[in-house]
Chain A
Amino acid sequence: MKKISYNIGKILIWIVIAVLILFSVYPVVYALLGSLKTNAELTLGSGILPEGFQWGNYKKAFIDSNFLEYGKNSLIISLATMALAVVTTSLSGYILARFDFAGKKLMTAAYTAMMFVTIGSVALYPITQLLAKVHLQKSMLALVLVLTGAQITNVFLVQGFVSGIPVELDEAAKIDGCSIFRIWWQIIIPLIRPILGVIALFTFRNTWNDYITTLVMTMSNKRLTTLTVAVVQLKYSVFAAAEWHIMLAGASLAIIPVLILYVFTNKQFIAGLTAGSVKG
């Protein structure tokens, strides 16, 4: 009797898990398979599998909609933002973990407060005005700086990680005549590689996926439009509203790179979140 109810429980659990998996995966699979359908198949609502593989959709998206150009922008901007975030957060996190300095308490308090204060995307307006004053508003550098931001959570993550490394290592290097900067570069950086890897991955993902910041920053400068922004704009163009197959090909082009990145790094993604939650 007990055995039977145990098995029923097990089956129920598997059904729920299957539903959750389907719920998570279906939209992605739908987009990827839909991108290979004809427009007629999509608008009439056929089965999930395409009747024939319309690779031409991608060609059209690539060439007619200039996605190669946007993809290049996305890649450069995401990589640059990722690099800048890793450098700035590891510098600050290391100093905060190892040194006392005038204003440290104030700085930590300000950072902590700002983790919870948000005025949303409205902040982008004063920022663009500020950039216009220094004539930077149309450069890629400005976009990268704004997308990098202060990364407060990541600074604290690095700080926590560095605190776990014995301070004797720093001191030994100091006796050997290492400067603070060199200790950071040659001793700390190699030791905190796991957490920096996680910060890099998450920053890359966030930058690649960002819509609002990039949209606002490239409004007056279409040249820097990224893949995500370009794909979403298809919704608003009369030309593509009726061409859902191109829209899905575009959406797939925007999600496939992160998907590939994820397949190779999903352990780090998941480890990063768990490390963050235990420490945070």
Chain B
Amino acid sequence: MKRRKGKYRRGWKENIQIYGMLAPNFILFLLLAVYPILWVFRFMFYSYGGLGSGEPVFVGLDNFKRLFTNDPIFWKSVVNTFIYAAGKIGLVIPMAFFAAMMLNRKNLRGAGFLRATLFLPTIMSSAVMALIFYLLFNVYNGEVNKYLSLLGITKTPVNWLGEEHAMLTVIIIGIWGGLGNYMIYFLAGLQGIPEDVYESAELDGVNWWQRTWYITLPMLGPVLKMILMISIVLAFQDMSHIMVLTEGGPVNATMVMFLYAYQFFFPIAPGSMVVTQFGYGAAVSVVAAGIVGIVTLLYLAAARKLDKLYD
């Protein structure tokens, strides 16, 4: 039975302990999560270049006017973010699902080893790995082009980091780093499906596709919904491998929203010049956060509709 609120009275000594024990985490939360958001909400109305460039000047909605009417690079970064997220999620989710289905079979020898191996990339630093991919995807001596020409797939070397293909390369690396995580999520979901459902289906003589489509996927519904949610939120935020590998280039071909906002505050590459525009950067990051928020809400609404379909 649940204790009714207020019935249980505590002494002040206990209250001090309770609030004292909550404090360390709560203070970090206020300073590192809440304060920065309040800061950008204030400075999005200012023109401010930082120390040495004079005091912040209140400019009202000027930053937003510039953002919405006169900043093609920002809108390119928005489109790029959607392309990246769609490409990554669209490929990594089916791949992870397939891998989980395969590794969930009961009589599979070495399943633990295979899972650990597929999970391996997720423990690596995406920034350090971006350096390694820089070598692998190198135009002239890169391993990727070497194998492609060896297999006779391409005749001339593909410029993986050029304007045309850089986004694809960045998506491939994103998939490389995320596959293991999603596979494990799917495995957890698959293991939650009771065995007897499959046994009765077996008696009815359904094949593999029917079983997957009519039993596994619907029963995986809630887990799938959560995995998609996580993958959306994360894909829209990915930037450290992009920052190291392409620095958003060439010609902004891989510039994503949060990297674009970042470059108004800090240099993307060490040594490169950065003209700090904290006010404008604040406006960009608020709009970027808003876009992610809208996508998340739309997804939640769509997911709810999907639930109703099954009822």
Which residues of A does B touch, CB under 8 Å?
9, 13, 16-17, 20-21, 23-25, 27-28, 30-31, 34, 42-45, 87-89, 91-92, 94-96, 99-101, 107, 110-111, 114, 116-127, 130, 145-146, 148-152, 155, 179-181, 184, 205, 208-212, 216, 219, 228, 231-236, 244, 247-248, 251, 254-255, 258-259, 261-262, 266-267, 269-270, 273-275, 277-278, 280
Query: A119 to chain B: which residues have CB within 8 Å?
Result: 36-37, 40, 261, 285-286, 288-289
Contact indicator B244/A125 (Cβ below 8 Å): no
Nearest chain B CB to A248 CB, angstrom units: 7
Q: Is B125 an interface residue (CB 8 A)?
A: yes
Q: With A122-B282, A150-B28 as given contacts, are A28 and B126 in contact (CB-CB < 8 Å)?
A: no
Q: Is B76 an interface residue (CB 8 A)?
A: no
Contact indicator B21/A27 (Cβ below 8 Å): no
Encode contact with A along B263-287: 1 for CB under 8 Å, 0 otherwise. Answer: 0111001110000001001100110
Most B-side CB within 10 Å, residue of A34, A100, A233: A100
The 10 tightest CB contacts between A and B, nearest first, are A211-B127, A209-B125, A123-B36, A120-B258, A274-B188, A45-B141, A126-B39, A150-B29, A92-B25, A88-B25
Chain B interface size range? 35 or more
Query: A31 to chain B: which residues have CB within 8 Å?
Result: 132
How far apart are the CA atoms of A25 and B114 in the complex, in Å?
11
How far apart are the CA atoms of A227 and B293 in the complex, in Å?
34
Q: With A30-B136, A119-B289, A262-B120 as given contacts, are A209 and B28 in contact (CB-CB < 8 Å)?
A: no
Query: B129 to chain A: which residues have CB within 8 Å?
Result: 27, 251
Contact indicator A125/B119 (Cβ below 8 Å): no
Say which one of B57-65, B66-74, B82-90, B179-187 lies at the interface with A. B179-187
Beyond A255-B125, A258-B123, 4 additional pairs, beta carbon < 8 A: A17-B99, A120-B239, A125-B39, A277-B223
Q: Is B228 an interface residue (CB 8 A)?
A: no
Contact indicator A88/B28 (Cβ below 8 Å): yes
Q: Is B124 an interface residue (CB 8 A)?
A: yes
How far apart are the CA atoms of A120 and B131 in the complex, in Å?
22
Contact indicator B17/A151 (Cβ below 8 Å): no
Nearest chain B CB to A16 CB, angstrom units: 7
Q: With A122-B262, A258-B124 as given contacts, are A24 and B117 in contact (CB-CB < 8 Å)?
A: yes
Contact indicator B288/A150 (Cβ below 8 Å): no
Q: Is B217 an interface residue (CB 8 A)?
A: no
How far apart are the CA atoms of A115 and B143 in the complex, in Å?
39
Query: A248 to chain B: which residues have CB within 8 Å?
Result: 132, 135
Contact indicator B143/A21 (Cβ below 8 Å): no
Query: B120 to chain A: which residues have CB within 8 Å?
Result: 24-25, 28, 262
Contact indicator A42/B135 (Cβ below 8 Å): yes
Q: With A24-B120, A45-B142, A118-B292 as given contacts, are A101 and B25 in contact (CB-CB < 8 Å)?
A: no
Q: Is B18 an interface residue (CB 8 A)?
A: yes
Contact indicator B244/A44 (Cβ below 8 Å): no
Nearest chain B CB to A187 CB, angstrom units: 14
Contact indicator A23/B123 (Cβ below 8 Å): no
Contact indicator B18/A125 (Cβ below 8 Å): no
Contact indicator B185/A149 (Cβ below 8 Å): no
Q: With A45-B142, A101-B15 as given contacts, are A149 and B265 in contact (CB-CB < 8 Å)?
A: no
Q: Is B233 an interface residue (CB 8 A)?
A: yes
Q: With A13-B102, A270-B115, A277-B188 as given contacts, are A233 and B17 in contact (CB-CB < 8 Å)?
A: no
Contact indicator B22/A120 (Cβ below 8 Å): no
Closest to B243 in A: A212
Q: With A273-B184, A274-B184 as given contacts, are A251 and B132 in contact (CB-CB < 8 Å)?
A: yes
Q: With A89-B25, A277-B226 as given contacts, are A21 and B118 in contact (CB-CB < 8 Å)?
A: yes
Could you say which of B32, B118, B125, B243 contacts A20, with CB atoms under 8 Å apart?
A: B118
How far apart are the CA atoms of A275 and B185 in the complex, in Å?
9
A-B contact pairs, 28 of them (CB 8 A): A13-B102, A24-B179, A27-B133, A42-B141, A44-B141, A88-B24, A88-B25, A89-B25, A96-B22, A118-B289, A120-B237, A120-B258, A120-B262, A123-B36, A125-B39, A126-B39, A149-B33, A150-B28, A205-B123, A209-B128, A233-B270, A235-B244, A236-B271, A254-B125, A259-B123, A277-B185, A277-B227, A278-B188
Contact indicator A28/B292 (Cβ below 8 Å): no
Query: A92 to chain B: which residues have CB within 8 Å?
Result: 21-22, 24-26
How far apart are the CA atoms of A125 and B292 in the complex, in Å?
21
Nearest chain A CB to B176 CB, angstrom units: 7
Contact indicator B261/A122 (Cβ below 8 Å): yes
Contact indicator A228/B127 (Cβ below 8 Å): yes
Query: B289 to chain A: which residues have CB within 8 Å?
Result: 117-120
Contact indicator A228/B143 (Cβ below 8 Å): no
Encode contact with A along B150-194: 1 for CB under 8 Å, 0 otherwise. Answer: 000000000000000000000000001001110011011101100
